[in-house]
């Protein structure tokens, strides 16, 4: 490896190539594990349109980034 490449600053995460869709889109089971809740609850949240989802054919996937945003919106700040 050339010395110039070895000492370059790392690229910030937000400027790196996007993650492969397989790592980013969750099925119901993986989304439930990510949230720490049951699969039935995830299905109900999707049915009630409480969380965003991607419609794929007869099924759907849930974007991990959307889940993270959903969590951030619902955080209750600590009282100092």
Strand partners, 59: 56
CB within 8 Å of 60: residues ≥ 6 apart: 46, 53, 54
Sorted by where each starts, the structural domains of the chain and their CATH numbers stand as: 22-80 (1.10.10)
Angular region, 26: left φ>0, alpha ψ -120 to 50, beta rest: beta
Q: What is the dihedral of CA 39, 44, 45, 47, to 10 degrees?
A: 130
Task: Give the pLDDT score at 23.
Answer: 84
Whether 67 and 26 have beta carbons less than 8 Å apart is answered as yes
- The verdict on pTM exceeding 0.95 is no
Task: Give the pLDDT score at 20.
Answer: 57
Statement: residue 14 has pLDDT above 80:
no
What confidence tens digit (pLDDT) does each residue in 28-71 have? Answer: 999 999 999 999 999 999 999 999 999 988 899 999 999 999 99
């Amino acid at each position: 490896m050339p010395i110039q490449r070895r000492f370059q600053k790392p690229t910030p995460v937000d400027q790196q190539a996007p993650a492969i869709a397989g790592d980013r889109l969750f099925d119901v089971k993986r989304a439930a594990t990510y949230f720490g809740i049951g699969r039935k609850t995830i299905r109900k949240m999707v049915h009630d349109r409480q969380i965003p989802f991607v419609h794929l054919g007869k099924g759907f996937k849930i974007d991990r980034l959307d889940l993270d945003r959903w969590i951030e919106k619902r955080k209750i700040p600590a009282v100092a």
